[in-house]
Structure 1
């Protein structure tokens, strides 16, 4: 579904936009304006897209082991590469986080993608900071072979009830955290529980799975185009930022509109309609979006510090970093991600069969 691949670039672009704006104006991190929540909503879009695409492309004869192998071949090479670069740079700079014992432990938990299970800022920001979302994705992948049969057994009515229930659960998390689990924020940071803890992000992934089944079952829903759905997401970010407590903005305020956007985008491909997201440039950018997500903060940070130290303005430094991000993302995708997927996504015996099958009449 190439339109969904193009939509991945929009999600990655939202994260790059937020981090760029925060470098341009650090005070926005305290005021929590709409610019901050563009990135948070983009991460939520990634989670929903992941559930949708994996469900749509699930193979009937697939095994849990082969699925996990393909996901590891997709996720881990880029992650390990960027982790080594970040930790290596910190060690070269002689920072305490790379030299102290607790810092080394935190970085190792980031390498193995379990750091977000610990409510400590040292762990949450360890390694490549943006890789925290990969810890959630790996948790989703672990559960996917168990969740998929359950999702497939749902009736049409059950799918609609499941979608509403998943959205309601995302909305219930902030209330449950504030009133029951962590009143007055005494036990752990609220953003950890609502934004980074994999368990609380699971309903978004499940929602994406359910939306994929709704599309496959051709359940008739009110037709909403991609542009109205995208406008709904943008409106939710802007309006809710001034109306709702920030705890609802991590995911709840946009989860419903994002699900509608993913469904509307998928319909473009399922119905064969014209789609700007399906054009070659956007599909290419969508393919390199995972690499872009992992490298962008490293490039932004290094170039911003270096160029502003030389007298460049903040805006000029950020604009200079953007083409470098695109170039480096392509190099990582072409030189690491794609070769590793070809090499490790299937057992060696199956890779030997592919040339023979391709040569067969």
Structure 2
């Protein structure tokens, strides 16, 4: 579609509204995946969502993209950055972990203090023991990965390779090759449990997805235009998930060459293209159908939905007759709870913690030097919309889980 004549507001919380809208669809994919696996299958829908765990890959790529977009060229103390990320993800993690433990106990299943502590300390994805990995809130494992990404993000932004056009191209190419190599490395791991932990949960494995998001976000912020439009990128992602249907029918999940691990590793470049195309469409002022009022609102709720839906499935499974009835009840209940959690807990606590914590302007601070990246007569900051950069420090930053930069 041709660009709109109305200037795009890139200064607020939803300065890239199509990305906020995409968060909802990625969260829905994860929810349908868990429903299919834990609450019974619905023909057609379950076949497409059987490997909806790939939605987490989307959130990791999106996290790197939005953080790079938000902090490029800004002078921000590392303590301020890390506190903002803590304020964004931890309060709701703590609340949903308490709710999850209560659900486990109500269902007669013991939960170890070690598992709860590992979850609250955001280190559980580093532990191969399933009891620790899933004992607090099973869906929260991705936040352990996110915490690692946040810790290394300032270091990534300081890398000379990340600060150059050629370096970013090399990094993007290496990430795309490496995710394929990781999938192939599954042939070296005979135990399916060890393989799943090493290739699906371990933060060191998932960091490639975050890194590809970082270099893609910087490239778009500095003037690179993705080769595909939004809808062709969406078609590629849909085509990938359609291809998983016959693949999953032919190869059991326990085998290394099944789509179980491939589903979330090999889709990484496709999600990077999708995020870049959606962001570029917003920058151009094009209508995408993803940035409407309700889509953005659902995107805001997606982080809470991600953390709450599996708890609701656990509580209702086996107590509601009929798969379709159970699905509808889980979707309605979990989404309603997510809306309440966002408006009454998640967002207010984030704002309060940001207000009482360290603020920008305090030393020491890291900053990415402004560069032209080959744009004649323009620095990287002036090549973007100036008002976005000037207002970013007072805007609420958006993430895995997920919000825009989770």
TM-score by length of 2: 0.77
Equivalent positions of 1:102-117 (< 5 A) are 103-117=112-126
Contact 1:304 1:318 in 2 (8 A): no
Residues 1:287 and 2:293 are matched in the alignment = no
> Could you tell me how far apart the structure 1 residues matched to 2:295 and 2:48 are?
25
Match in the other structure for 2:163? 154
C-alpha deviation, 1:281, in angstroms: 0.5
Task: Flag structure 1 segments of 5+ consecutive residues without an equivalent.
Answer: 352-357
Cα distance per residue 1:172-225 (max 9 Å; x no partner): 11223433xx3x238x62110110001100010000001101101212442x12
Q: Secondary structure at the match of 1:278?
A: coil
Contact 2:161 2:168 in 1 (8 A): no
Range 122-131 or range 145-154, more displaced: 145-154
> Could you tell me how far apart the structure 1 residues matched to 2:271 and 2:93 are?
26
Q: Decide which structure has greater helix share.
A: 1
> Aligned in 2, Cα 1:258/1:151: closer, same or farther, shift over 3 Å?
farther
Range 170-179 or range 289-298, more displaced: 170-179
Match in the other structure for 1:314? 323
Match in the other structure for 1:218? 223
TM-score by length of 1: 0.86
> Aligned in 2, Cα 1:151/1:242: closer, same or farther, shift over 3 Å?
farther
C-alpha deviation, 1:92, in angstroms: 4.1
Contact 1:56 1:213 in 2 (8 A): yes
> Could you tell me how far apart the structure 1 residues matched to 2:332 and 2:48 are?
25
C-alpha deviation, 1:111, in angstroms: 2.1
Match in the other structure for 1:17? 32
> Could you tell me how far apart the structure 2 residues matched to 1:117 and 1:350 are?
31
Equivalent positions of 1:167-246 (< 5 A) are 167-179=176-188, 182=189, 184-185=190-191, 189-222=194-227, 224-240=228-244, 242-243=246-247, 245-246=258-259
Residues 1:44 and 2:44 are matched in the alignment = no
C-alpha deviation, 1:252, in angstroms: 2.4
Cα distance per residue 1:293-328 (max 9 Å; x no partner): 011111122123322xxxx21211221221211211
> Could you tell me how far apart the structure 2 residues matched to 1:348 and 1:171 are?
41
Match in the other structure for 2:94? 80
Contact 1:24 1:315 in 2 (8 A): no
C-alpha deviation, 1:248, in angstroms: 4.4
Task: Flag structure 2 segments of 5+ consecutive residues without an equivalent.
Answer: 1-15, 248-256, 361-393, 395-406
Contact 1:23 1:314 in 2 (8 A): no
> Aligned in 2, Cα 1:313/1:70: closer, same or farther, shift over 3 Å?
same
Contact 1:174 1:247 in 2 (8 A): no
Give the superposed CA RMSD: 2.4
> Could you tell me how far apart the structure 2 residues matched to 1:200 and 1:141 are?
15
Cα distance per residue 1:78-118 (max 9 Å; x no partner): 100010111123234442x32xxxx2212221222211111
C-alpha deviation, 1:26, in angstroms: 6.5
